Chain A
Amino acid sequence: MTQDHPAERYLLVETQSGGTAERFLADAATLAGAGERVRLFLAGDGVALGIRGASAGLPRFLGAGGQAWADEFTLAHRALHAAPLTPGVRTTGMGEVADWLLEPGTRVVWH
């Protein structure tokens, strides 16, 4: 891949759960399927999507090549460390999210 112009990459932030969040995950899967580099960060109510079996759209997004992380602060705040995460979902903190945000060519879409 040429470094002449950095490829765009997406940082998607999901803070909700439920029907509209599943639509956002479908957006994410479309982006990933088109070959975009897509990082999805689940925070606030959005961490519930990362629980194993909770979302139909998240495994599809991961299968399309997307990457997903659940917010460690939210998991701790909501006493969700015992909850099983969907295979492929990692956890991270806001420091790494800031690093991704600051990478050149990153587009952020926040739901």
Chain B
Amino acid sequence: MAATVERRSWDVLIVLTAPPHTTDALTTVLRLTQAVLEREQTLRVWACGYNTMLTQSSLGETKPADLRDPATPAPTAGALIRGLLTAYKGRFSWIVCTACSAERGAHDHIPEVRLRSDARLAATIAAARRTLYIGGA
């Protein structure tokens, strides 16, 4: 099969490998994403490693309750990502690396995300005007 050629160019690609629930890497990425999208730019996140687990459908929209305040729902990271994908449809995309997903048994992602093989990483980078690589996996 011929290699896929990206037809569209994106302003920013963030490759996120640092695991969630460890540092504020995801928080910083979401904040930067918000700022870039507010400037009418386009941005994709390539989610690697344990970030592939954030968009599983099984996690739902709300986290398990804060027992000190169970009436206040807290959104899951997946819900936050879905909210961005909905609000900035066409300008924001969240790509889940299928190799990392398979390694971690992260299946059944929310339909708004795209699944891509790591064999397409180079093409995805080539389709971006600038790439930020966040290590720490």
**Which residues from chain A sit less than 8 Å from chain B, CB to CB?**
15, 43-45, 73-74, 93-95, 97-99, 101-102, 106-108, 110
Contact = CB atoms under 8 A, between A and B. Distances in A.
Interface stretch (B24-32, B69-77, B82-90, B100-108): B24-32
26 contacts: A15-B23, A15-B28, A43-B24, A43-B28, A44-B23, A44-B24, A44-B25, A44-B28, A73-B31, A94-B31, A94-B32, A94-B35, A95-B38, A97-B32, A98-B32, A98-B35, A98-B36, A98-B39, A98-B41, A101-B12, A101-B130, A102-B11, A102-B12, A102-B39, A108-B132, A110-B134
Contacts of A97: 32, 35
Interface residues of B, number: 20
Contact of B34 (A94, A106, A107, A108): A94
- SS class of chain B's interface: helix, strand, loop or mixed? mixed
A15 B24 contact: yes
* Nearest 10 A/B pairs, CB to CB: A98-B35, A94-B35, A44-B24, A94-B31, A108-B132, A98-B36, A110-B134, A95-B35, A43-B28, A94-B32
Nearest to A105: B130
Interface of B: 11-12, 23-25, 28, 31-32, 34-36, 38-39, 41, 130-135
A110 B133 contact: yes
B4 to A, nearest CB: 26
A108 B130 CA distance: 8
Contacts of A94: 31-32, 34-35
B20 to A, nearest CB: 13
Given A102-B12, A108-B131, A110-B135, 9 more contacts: A15-B24, A15-B28, A44-B25, A95-B35, A95-B38, A97-B32, A101-B130, A102-B39, A106-B130
B88 to A, nearest CB: 14
| Listed residue (A97, A99, A102) with the most chain B CB atoms within 10 angstroms of its CB | A102
